[in-house]
């Protein structure tokens, strides 16, 4: 399968999609956030075919989202660890989880809680500089020159 690139769309979202690659990649990242590091554990956790997992791990390493680290104390054993760039996808993963839970009910086998307090985390929202919540209707897309583009839906 060839890899579709979206570079020419001049769009940060498209650019991010190039890097995270596809749905399997995002599930690999989510699994890594759960603490999974070894190839076999990703395979087991996600029920993903070896060749697809190989491809997605390699791509995520290429894009600096995961690092491939030799963690073998006696001999070679590779682990895949989230980089700072990978860990920074936490907001995206949580926002997507919460959206799914809001609209499809909580079908998840697990919950995400504050490690210290054990309490549920707050809904992720978009805020303006003053901390007020914004919906898509409260924002404008403007060009580099500051002139408005089309209106948001």
Spatial distance between the Cα atoms of 115 and 50, rounded to a whole number of angstroms: 33
**Which of 54/126 has CB closer to its own copies?**
126
Region 5-34 residues binding its own copies, contact defined as CB under 8 A: 6, 8-17, 19, 22-23, 26-27, 30, 32-34
49 binds its own copies (CB under 8 A): no
58 binds its own copies (CB under 8 A): no
Q: What is the dihedral of CA 24, 28, 33, 35, to 10 degrees?
A: 150
Residues sharing a CB contact under 8 Å with residue 17, sequence separation 6 or more, in sequence order:
6
51 binds its own copies (CB under 8 A): no
**Which of 46/61 has CB closer to its own copies?**
46
**Which of 7/73 has CB closer to its own copies?**
7
55 binds its own copies (CB under 8 A): no
* Least Cβ distance, residue 54 to its own copies (angstroms): 17
CB count in 10 Å sphere of residue 61: 15
Spatial distance between the Cα atoms of 69 and 41, rounded to a whole number of angstroms: 15
Spatial distance between the Cα atoms of 146 and 23, rounded to a whole number of angstroms: 34
**Which of 68/81 has CB closer to its own copies?**
81
* Least Cβ distance, residue 28 to its own copies (angstroms): 11
CB hemisphere CA count around 105 (13 angstroms):
1
**Which of 54/114 has CB closer to its own copies?**
114
Q: What is the CA angle 16-19-21, rounded to 5?
A: 105
* Least Cβ distance, residue 76 to its own copies (angstroms): 21
Region 82-101 residues binding its own copies, contact defined as CB under 8 A: 82, 85, 87-101
């Amino acid at each position: 399968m060839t890899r579709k690139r979206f570079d020419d769309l001049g769009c940060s979202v498209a650019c991010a999609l190039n890097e995270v690659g596809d749905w399997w990649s995002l599930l690999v990242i989510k699994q890594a956030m759960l603490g999974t590091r070894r190839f076999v554990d990703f395979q087991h956790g996600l029920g993903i075919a070896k060749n697809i997992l190989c491809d997605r791990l390699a791509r995520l390493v290429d894009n600096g989202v995961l690092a491939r680290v030799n963690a073998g104390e006696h001999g070679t054993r590779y682990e895949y660890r989230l980089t700072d760039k990978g860990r920074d996808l936490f907001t995206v993963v949580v926002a997507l989880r919460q959206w799914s839970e809001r609209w499809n009910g909580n079908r998840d086998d697990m919950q995400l809680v504050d490690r210290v307090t054990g309490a549920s985390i707050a809904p992720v929202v978009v805020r303006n500089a003053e901390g007020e919540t914004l919906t898509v209707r409260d924002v404008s897309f403007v060009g580099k020159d500051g002139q408005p583009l089309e209106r948001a839906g």
